[in-house]
């Protein structure tokens, strides 16, 4: 008589994840939302917090403009550098690699100072050229910095497309440029969108560094407000809450997009 085999028990039971979620919402998300709500409650009930929020939030527009402007510059420049990185031309390939390693090897804060103050400030003045506003200089600096990171994202995305796609394009008579523009890039961009979303979130947080060149974004406004009344705890908790709300919104949007593009086999 054969023994009846017991069904294998998965060490991680399907219902185990319920211990770490509440009605389908993970606990970490509840914690983050709770933190934001605690700060929002302080703003709603305490005059000092409310005054700080009213002053600091005035820098939100500049923060968003610097972030989005820098990201657009980084996308355009990063794509060009990423394509040069894959070029068979030795000069272009090495120039692209030099740019990527140079920018990524220097701290973001130092690069912002060099580009905003030294290059667009002192150098332009020495040439008799009026420098652009600090906000424009900071936006250009962030775009130049993040282009080095996004170039590698584009390179990886393009290399992830199988050679069969190129061969299929050649079989229907497409040129190399047409294959890249019509076949490779659309597929690569779909694959790298989550990575680009992460870079956008990182750029948003790094936009706080442009306060070093007196751009009146969120962090600079918090510095000005706390410097005038010495309410450092209230000011910087308000600042942290605003950034947390912004990054959480982008993170949730990114997770939603990842689920949309995920295939059933993933």
What is d(CA 117, CA 141) in angstroms, rounded to the nearest whole number? 10
Q: Residue 113: CB partners within 8 Å, gap ≥ 6?
A: 212, 213
Over pLDDT 90: what percentage of the chain? 58
- The predicted pLDDT at position 18 comes to 46
Q: pLDDT tens for residues 112-131?
A: 999 988 888 777 777 777 88
Do strands 21-22 and 25-26 pair parallel, antiparallel, or not at all (unpaired)?
antiparallel
Q: pLDDT tens for residues 150-201?
A: 999 999 888 888 777 776 777 777 777 777 777 788 888 888 888 899 999 9
Does 128 or 242 have the greater pLDDT score?
A: 242
pLDDT at residue 263 is higher than 70: no
Helix residue ranges per DSSP H, 7-59: 27-45, 47-56
Give the closest residue to 188 by CA, choosing from 176, 179, 200. 179
* Lowest-confidence region among 11-25, 111-125, 134-148, 203-217: 11-25
Joined together, the tokens standing for residue 157 give: 């995305």
Q: Domains, the chain, ranges and CATH?
A: 61-215 (1.10.3720.10)
Mean pLDDT of the chain: 86
């Amino acid at each position: 008589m054969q023994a009846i085999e017991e069904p294998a028990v998965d060490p991680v039971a399907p219902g185990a994840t319920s211990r770490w979620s509440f009605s389908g919402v993970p606990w970490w998300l509840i914690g983050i939302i709770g933190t934001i709500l605690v700060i929002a409650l302080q703003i709603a009930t305490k005059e000092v917090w409310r005054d700080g929020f009213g002053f600091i939030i005035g820098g939100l527009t500049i923060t968003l403009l610097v972030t989005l402007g820098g990201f657009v510059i980084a996308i355009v420049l990063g794509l060009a550098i990423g394509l040069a990185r894959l070029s068979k031309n030795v000069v272009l390939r090495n120039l692209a690699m030099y740019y990527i390693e140079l920018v990524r090897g220097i701290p973001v804060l130092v690069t912002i100072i060099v580009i905003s103050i030294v290059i667009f400030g002192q150098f332009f003045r020495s040439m008799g050229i009026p420098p652009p506003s600090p906000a424009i200089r900071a936006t250009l600096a962030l775009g130049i910095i993040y282009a080095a990171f996004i170039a590698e994202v584009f390179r990886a995305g393009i290399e992830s497309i199988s050679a069969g796609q190129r061969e299929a394009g050649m079989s229907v008579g497409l040129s190399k440029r047409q294959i890249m523009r019509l076949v490779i890039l659309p597929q690569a961009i779909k694959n790298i969108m989550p990575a680009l979303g992460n870079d956008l979130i990182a750029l948003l947080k790094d936009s706080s560094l442009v306060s070093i060149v007196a751009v009146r974004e969120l962090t600079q406004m918090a510095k000005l407000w706390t410097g005038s009344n010495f309410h450092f705890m209230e000011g910087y908790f308000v600042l942290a809450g605003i950034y947390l709300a912004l990054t959480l919104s982008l993170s949730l949007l990114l997770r939603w997009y990842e689920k949309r593009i995920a295939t059933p086999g993933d």
